[in-house]
Amino acid sequence: MNELRCKVLIIGGGPGGYVAAIRAGQLGLDTILVEAGRLGGTCLNVGCIPSKALIHAADAAHSLREPQALNAIGLSIGRPELDFAKTIGWKDSIVARLTGGVGALLKKAKVRTVLGSAQIVDGKTVIAHADTGESRIEAEHLIIATGSEPAELPALPFGSDVLSSTESLALTEVPGSLAVVGAGYIGLELGIAFAKLGSRVTIVEALAKILPLYDQELTQPVARRLADLGVETLTGAKAISFAKGALKVAEADGKERTIAADKLLVAVGRRARTGGFDLEKLDLTMSGPFVRIDDQCATSMRNVWAIGDVTGEPMLAHRAMAQGEMVAEIIAGEKRAFDSVAIPAICFTDPEIVAVGLAPEAAKAAHGEIRVGRFPFRANGRAMTLQDDEGFVRVVARADNNVVLGIHAVGAGVSELSSAFSLALEMGARLEDIALTIQAHPTLGEAFHEAALTALGHSLHI
């Protein structure tokens, strides 16, 4: 068995783990990263990146199948044919390019990478099991970055035609019919994509509304788009069983119904990956199923840190990255703490949703009287030229001093506005700061400016 020593040992090579490793290496800390699968973790390999590639392919295919929109701008073409195997190959090439890039960045930062499973011995020792042999690694600091995995329903175990998001991104052909259990962001992103690719899609959600983490004002445009795409949405409904291409569902009125489906996607959330590497040997304080951390990502055990999905919500790659960078800098002696005021949440549905900070109800509960400004994309010239003016930008601020508390948007391409939204909250912007910032014309960003003007009571273009 190889005997290795280092300053920093990281278990997990996803966004949080590999960023922590790169930053630690940049700071001159002797670092070892242990990853059981492929570098990049869920996000790069079977999550964020491949799903967005599939969504783009679906959007492209669907745009060619809407002759009315094409005819409006003077285009007339024949019906396109989809080679889905080639689509998947293109998606996989993007994944390979990015994971290869992560490996190169780790090497540049002088991080030693061990591709194998980890087994914790104690807070300073891990056994790494790789194809090349076993290594006993001793470290001064241990960072747990093991991420999360799809949650399974006891009545609908994964296997065969019951898919998690991972398997749905590896299909070799578009299913003729697809049932999706769960109307959160994963279920709707993939459900909409497959509907655009030609599947007959049915969404089943146990709660009373789709996208339950977002307020109804933001989700209404998505609900309308689902109907336009022919997606049937059942809310307040419970999936009971699936067999022989039939999903049995108890609807909101209590009546049972059977839905025909070639494939069933179960997308009811994700759970922390805490099993399989002897985490229990550390006897860490937990917050339910998650590792409890403070504002520096320190656990209850000295020199043991945890970052990313294993620490709970929000389970977002960019949160994990920020935490990983911070922990590396703390270990290097810098003074850092994590402030979650401006973590953007994005739902890549059609239309897209962006939420940063507090929604109106939460803002009012926390701060009393508020100002809310909205500006619709139907009054935005750029949205019109893109043939998609559904949605709006909304700004929420305190009424007494106009400090911005939350910024939200729903519409085509609004994910690219998230950086401006986050920066405004991070810098403690007031409505006047946004209103006095000159936005380029014509852009979607003008709606951000106009929403602030509306909150101040003097919108220019509505």
Q: What is the set of domains in the chain, with CATH numbers?
A: 2-149+272-331 (3.50.50.60), 162-268 (3.50.50.60), 345-456 (3.30.390.30)
pLDDT at position 370 is 98
Q: Is the peptide bond before 351 cis (omega within 30 degrees of 0)?
A: yes
pLDDT at position 158 is 97
> Which residue shows structure tokens 């259990």?
181
pLDDT at position 340 is 82
pLDDT at position 68 is 81
Residues 6+ away with beta carbon under 8 Å from 250: 237, 238, 240, 256, 257
Strand partners, 5: 138
Q: What is the pLDDT along the chain (462 residues), one digit of tens a residue?
A: 899 999 999 999 999 999 999 999 999 999 999 999 999 999 999 999 999 999 999 999 999 888 788 888 998 888 888 999 999 999 999 999 999 999 999 999 999 999 999 999 999 999 999 988 999 999 999 999 999 999 999 999 999 999 999 999 999 999 999 999 999 999 999 999 999 999 999 999 999 999 999 999 999 999 999 999 999 999 999 999 999 999 999 999 989 999 999 999 999 999 999 999 999 999 999 999 999 999 999 999 999 999 999 999 999 999 999 999 999 999 999 999 998 889 999 999 999 999 999 999 999 999 999 999 999 999 999 999 999 999 999 999 999 999 999 999 999 999 999 999 999 999 999 999 999 999 999 999 999 999 999 999 999 999
Count the helix, strand and coil residues of the chain and give each as a percent rounded to the nearest 5. 35, 30, 35
pLDDT at position 66 is 80
Residue tagged active-site, from 62, 141, 408, 441: 441
- pTM for the model: 0.95
Active site residue 408: no
The beta strand positions in 318-383, using DSSP E, are: 345-347, 352-357, 370-376
Q: Is the peptide bond before 289 cis (omega within 30 degrees of 0)?
A: no
Report the alpha-carbon distance of residue 337 to residue 43 in Å, rounded: 25
Task: Please state whether 122 falls in left (phi above 0), alpha (psi between -120 and 50) or beta.
Answer: beta
Structure tokens at 49: 């990146």
- The CA–CA distances, whole Å, from 129 to 3, 13, 34, 120, 277 equal 13, 15, 9, 11, 11
